[in-house]
Amino acid sequence: MDQAQITDLAITGMTCSACVARIEKVLARVPGVESAAVNLATERARVAGSADPEAIIRAIGKAGFGATPIQAGAPPADTAPAEHQEVLRLIVSAVLTAPLLIGMAIPSLMLLGWAQFALATPVQFILGARFYRAGWNAARALSGNMDLLVALGTSAAWGLSTWLWLTTHHAHALYFESSAVLITFVLFGKWLEGRARRQTASAIKALMRLRPETARLRKADGEHAVPIDQVRTGDIVIVRAGERIPVDGRVIEGQAAVDCAMLTGESLPTEAIAGTKVAAGTIDLDGMLAIQATAVGAETVLARIVRLVEDAQASKAPIQRLADRVSAVFVPVVLCIALLTFIGWLLVGDAETAIMHAVAVLVIACPCALGLATPTAIMVGTGAAARHGILIRDAAALEQTHAVTTIVFDKTGTLTIGTPKLTEVVAATGGDRQSILAIAASLQGHSEHSLARATLDAAAQATLSPATEFRTIPGRGVIGAVQSVRYALGNRSLMRAESIDIAGLSAAAAELEKTGHTVSFLAELSPAKRALGVLAYSDQVKPEAGEAIRRLHALGVQTIMLTGDNAGAAAAIAEPLRIGRVVAGMQPDGKSGEIHRLRDSGEIVAMVGDGINDAPALAAADIGFAMATGSDVAMETAGITLMRGNLLLVPDAIDISRRTWRKIQEGLFWAFAYNILGIPLAALGYLSPMIAGAAMALSSVSVVGNALLLRRWRSKSGAFTPP
């Protein structure tokens, strides 16, 4: 099946979650659209399917909104001009409204009716024109939004005041200040809300700033500075001390310390020499480097990180569906309540009182807070996590992580450093240790396994012969021929499968396993079948592993280690770390099967692995944590990618997920509570239109402001503090 085309759009004209629901409804009717997600906080839409982008834009335009295509990884648009216009409108509105408020507070300074009309009318129809435009578009589409409520409420107050002025000529009985103050408050609230929302994009902007605009290319006639977009794979890029590296590549000349802090979170610089891989966005601290580009533009690790953060911030959490369902019926319900309020008060009082209480109902109702509670918290939470090297794939992963009850760890490369060393070679009776080492190294010459690398390092001085008929037995070992003799190198399971008697080596192997060694048996398969010896490997536990396990237990998460290693080596690692349960001797498919059993028993399971060898287990878990380096492809598949190998990022990821989840819950609670309490109070006459308008304006600001508190979150790993 062909992969669905993804179209990203910047949307203008949205004011509340009702607008989001309307755009998504419109997009669902466009032929070829498979799915559409609109995010109020980012003011973006992501559409999947085969639909023509122009047809999508036209559909959004007919709904009364603007849409502009954007490229994935493109920097956020410059919002300074729009913000300047917002401030200017707010200032003018406040200046025109102030004399009306003074007259209300000090009756002796009350303006004449014509003066009140002259001040309130431009506020109503010029500065408040945005509410009429958006409200009309909503009404035309047989929908509703916050702007429609504001336009109806303020128009009612302005219209009543105009009628009374023309018929009674009594300045003290007018309500022009109510409509003007309402519009001023709403403009102020929208400005505060927009300002807060713009702050949530700080993570993307910080990542974008890591990408240099130019690169220095080495050509036959010298060095030339060119725009970064002109660099191609294979080009030689020159980077001097103090400059950011513009591409992913391999150092071919020079030596320098490279600061990777803003990309991977590593606090200490790494040494780059010929052959070292480097990533775009990192900083050359003290030397000149010549780098051959292996990835440029959208293919660099930095660009992939930006896309991942963008995707997470653009996605919708499952909990948002509740707010979307409420928003779809919110405005019609509010209009009905306002009508009933008007009729009720008209029956017990006069028309003026009835209109003012109905206006209060219209203006206090605010679907904005409902629409902003979830996406704003997700934006800030994923941004804070990204700054500390925790890349969260999407909102669903963030929501799932907070509920994790069990963490499953791989051993090698996850709990351990992942660079084992060959520490002991035990030969069978009559055997020779050096020949055993040479045969084992020859067998593993083509293997990328960490134990193979350790064997080859130990046999660096030995004379090796190329292996033929080589094949890998997943989870067991390797088989191959060296100088026409077939050998097997692997664990007990492989020896049993090949009917090799290892009784003479079992005691030595068991003793090595008790001290935490991983053992491999070398056996001759033909012309004779006999065990030749045992190779023992040791791998150091990561220094922060114990603290990470302790913090997970403090969070109420149980820990399990699954490993293909022997029980003795597994226990030697797990017992000092106080891991709750150990399952040793696991095949790759066995790991995923164990995770399925845990899930079937009701556990919410996270798997922590290297993102490559543990792919089946990572896919089987509710959420996968990939321990990645800057060059790993795990970012594209894992639910959460940890850009450092520091295990303390695992409890950190759960912590930021739980904090973000709490902010979502708090935002939705206050959004619902605000409307549930505010609308009845307004209907019963306990809130004036001005107080209702102020409360409505501040409701969205409070929800966004509460989410912004997540920006204070800091990783407890102690390895990196972002600038």
- The position carrying tokens 């972002």 is 722
Percent over 90 (pLDDT), the chain: 25
| Rounded average pLDDT over 303-307 | 74
Write out pLDDT tens, residues 360-382.
888 787 666 776 777 778 888 88
In Å, how far are 160, 182, 211, 285 from 225, measured between CA atoms? 67, 55, 15, 20
Q: What is the pLDDT of residue 633?
A: 45
- Any idea what the Cα angle at residue 100 is, between residues 692 and 106, rounded to 5°? 100
Distance, in Å, from the CA atom of 582 to the CA atom of 567, rounded to the nearest integer, reads 8
What average pLDDT does this structure show over 259-270? 66
pLDDT at site 630: 36
Where residue 293 falls among pLDDT bands split at 50, 70, 90? very high
* pLDDT score for 237: 94
Residue scoring higher pLDDT (317 or 216) = 216
The mean pLDDT of 271-285, rounded to a whole number, is 88
CA nearest to 493, candidates 593, 585, 589: 585
Residues 6+ apart with CB under 8 A from 343: 354
Top pLDDT among 148 and 254 is at 254
Question: Of 529 and 304, which is predicted with more confidence?
Answer: 529
Amino acid residing at 702: S
Does residue 324 have a pLDDT over 70? no
CA angle 589/593/596 to nearest 5° reads: 145
Q: Are residues 276 and 252 in contact, defined by beta-carbon separation less than 8 angstroms?
A: no
Provide the pLDDT for residue 635.
53
CA–centroid distance for 439 within its chain: 48
Averaging pLDDT over each range in 16-30, 66-80, 176-190, which range is the top one?
16-30
Kindly write down the DSSP assignment for every residue of 595-620, as one continuous string: HHHHHHTT--EEEEE-SSTTHHHHHH
Nearest to 52 by CA among 9, 19, 2, 11: 9
CATH topology of domain 421-538: Calcium-transporting ATPase, cytoplasmic domain N (3.40.1110)
What pLDDT score was predicted for residue 122? 95
Q: In what order do the strands lie in the sheet with 289-295?
A: 222-227, 214-219, 236-239, 289-295, 248-254, 277-278
Return d(Cα 560, Cα 606) in angstroms, integer.
10
pLDDT in tens, 47-86: 888 888 899 999 998 888 888 887 655 555 555 667 788 8
For the structural domain made of 232-295, what CATH number should be given?
2.70.150.10
Q: In the prediction, which pLDDT does 718 show?
A: 53
How confident is the model over 532-548, as a mean pLDDT?
90
pLDDT at 611 over 60: no
Predicted confidence band of residue 721 (pLDDT cuts 50, 70, 90): very low
CA trace torsion 652, 655, 659, 664 (10° rounding): 100
Domains 232-295 and 390-417+541-651 share a fold: no
List the chain domain ranges: 5-69, 232-295, 390-417+541-651, 421-538
Contact partners, residue 364, CB within 8 Å, separation at least 6: 675, 678, 679, 681, 682, 687, 692, 693, 695, 696
pLDDT tens digits along 120-176 = 999 999 998 988 888 887 777 776 666 777 788 788 888 888 888 888 777 666 778
**Does residue 251 have a pLDDT over 90?**
yes
Q: Give residue 521's pLDDT.
A: 95
What separation in angstroms does the CA of 89 have from each of 128, 177, 194, 580, 694?
A: 9, 17, 14, 61, 17
Residue 239 has pLDDT above 90, yes or no: yes
Contacts with 276 (C-beta within 8 Å, 6 or more apart), sequence order: 250, 251, 270
Query: Which run of H or E residues covers position 393?
Result: none
Q: Catalytic amino acids? A: 410
Provide mean pLDDT across the span 109-119.
88
Which residues are paired to 46 by β-bridges?
8, 37
> Is residue 586 over pLDDT 80?
no
Share the mean pLDDT of the chain.
82
The architecture that CATH gives domain 5-69 is 2-Layer Sandwich (3.30)
Residue 437 contacts residue 472 (beta carbons within 8 Å): no
Rounded CA-CA distance 621/619 in Å is 6
Torsion sign (Cα): 402, 407, 412, 418: positive
pLDDT band at 233 (very low <50, low <70, confident <90, very high): very high
> Helix, strand, or coil here: 239?
strand
Task: Please choose, from the candidates 644, 651, 653, the residue with its C-alpha nearest in 3D space to the C-alpha of residue 268.
Answer: 644
Is the per-residue pLDDT at 719 higher than 50?
no
The answer to whether residue 636 scores a pLDDT higher than 60 is no
Please determine, for residue 720, whether its predicted confidence score (pLDDT) is greater than 50. Answer: no
3-state secondary structure 100-159: HHHHHHCHHHCCCHHHHHHHHHHHHHHHCHHHHHHHHHHHHCCCCCHHHHHHHHHHHHHH
**Confidence bin at 722 (pLDDT 50/70/90):** very low
Cα separation of 38 and 17, whole Å? 9
pTM for this entry = 0.68
In this prediction, residue 221 carries a pLDDT of: 86
- Residue 87 has a pLDDT of 87
Residue 313 above 70 pLDDT?
Answer: no
pLDDT the model gives residue 108: 77
> Cβ contacts of residue 70 below 8 Å, gap of 6+?
8, 9, 10, 44
Contact 266, 279 (CB under 8 A): no
Fold of domain 390-417+541-651: Rossmann fold (3.40.50)
